[in-house]
Amino acid sequence: MARDSDYGAFMEKFLLQPSPSLHQLPLHGLTFAFKDIFDVDGYVTGFGNPDWARTHPAATSTAPAILAVLRGGATCVGKTVTAELAYSINGENKHYGTPTNPCVPDRVPGGSSSGSAVAVGAKLVDFALGTDTGGSVRVPASYCGILGFRPSHDAISTAGVIPLVQSFDTVGWFARDPVILNRVGRVLLQLPDVDLVRPSRIIIAEDCFQLSDIPKDRVIQPLVKSVEKYEFKNNHGEWINTVKPDLGPGISERVWEALMTTDENLDICHSVKSEAHAALIDLLGDFGVLAIPTVLGPPSKLQTDPTISENFCDRTFSLLLIASASGFCQVSIPLGLYDNLPVSISLLATHGSDGFLLNLVETLYDTLKEEVGIVEKMDYGAFMEKFVLQPSPSAHELPLSGLTFAVKDLYDVDGYVTGFGNPDWARTHPAATSTAPAVSSLLRAGATCIGKTVMDEMAYSIEGENIHYGTPRNPCAPDRIPGGSSSGSAVAVAAKLT
């Protein structure tokens, strides 16, 4: 199949039929694909690198995780592209091509389980298997606008899966539908159907480390990075030194850095992992949930300078490593688009609370999407500043009574700085000491002003884009510009905000 029809998600396509059964199976009728890190009897597991594929024989057995979903009634349609040696969260692969992000085609899909996420996001399969060590399911789920689940560490067998860092490796999965996410999880985790337990508490990210007695720098990068590099070296150092594989930019540097790692301070790192686990249990208690952003920003543009990309990855790991270090389960939930880029949130629960978390997501998903939809409608990036200017009092019925309006950030309003679409302009000009007659006339006619709107810089464009304050989202065609220079005002009206 041509690359443009499968988004470059697949390494190889084939069929593995589900096990025959006289009973209705939980995954009957569903299709799936798996990351090229899982063994399937008779196929070479390529690990995202042609030198690896060339120097390893075909597998003689199939990974238990794949057997589990086949026994559950699902049909496998092939294996998907992974970042080389599963050692990148961008998802790029210079040998087999980078899968195209169906949500934002000019951005990276996230990795290392890039092909699996793309296959689900592009609706090529109902669900897909990946692995997550330091974010390899959660990041591509966020970037591709789908659900991604990292289970509790050791909850699902990783036999028949090429190891990366055994202290953190997990088998994860993607889906578009929370019901399917739950059903797949119950098969993989061998969970019975259970009644929903309400969360006892939900803690927002900013409170997390304030409530913990473990300092941030003992929980995050130093811990996982040291263990990650050392175990990667133990698993694959001999092969890398012998074969000297051709590796892509960014990945090559990380791999060779890992090979220089020693076991110094490794015992301390494992001790801190135990401390982090205990501290988060104390924090969440039974059936508590921690809510955090999945990542710290939108996906990078394709072929971004590796140095810039590496800096972003380091900052993002501060969130991803909470689950990795503690062994807790985490789900990434898409919240739609902001400025035409995918946004997500993650929920974490304590080790072994996978069934609780899966049920919670299935139950809350529609409500969460509805609430987020309301929030999106409240702004669309249209407003520079929100405030209320009440209409002039009158004993008579006024022609604009009951109507609301907003003003372009070009009109003076007494007490507010008129920004002219540019922060340097706003910084170098004082607040207005009077209100523009056009605004005053609407207030006198009974209308209520609810704020000022974004505009092009210095009103000097008809595109409607603004690099400083963001481009208001066109509610009619979200992937198109809103037009300018009165972009925010037009969006506010079209989105029924005024």
Supply the residues annotated as catalytic.
Answer: 35, 112, 136
Length of the chain: 498
How crowded is residue 235: how many other Cβ atoms within 10 Å of its Cβ?
A: 18
Maximum Cα interatomic distance, the chain, rounded to a whole number of Å = 90
- Report the C-alpha gap between 222 and 234 in whole angstroms: 18
Q: Where do the H-state alpha helices sit in 378-460?
A: 423-427, 437-444
- Report the C-alpha gap between 140 and 117 in whole angstroms: 6
Question: Does residue 496 sit in helix, strand or coil?
Answer: coil
How crowded is residue 80: how many other Cβ atoms within 10 Å of its Cβ?
A: 32
Which amino acid makes up residue 448? T
- Cβ atoms 403, 463 nearer than 8 A: no
- Could you tell me which of 56, 24, 27 has the C-alpha nearest to residue 128? 27
- Could you tell me which of 277, 271, 293 has the C-alpha nearest to residue 352? 277
267: Cα within 13 Å, side-chain hemisphere: 0
Beta bridge partners of 147: 175
- Report the C-alpha gap between 351 and 344 in whole angstroms: 22
What order of strands is seen across the sheet that includes strand 383-389?
Answer: 383-389, 448-453, 404-408
In degrees and rounded to multiples of 5, residue 86 shows phi and psi of: 55, 35
- Cβ atoms 267, 78 nearer than 8 A: no
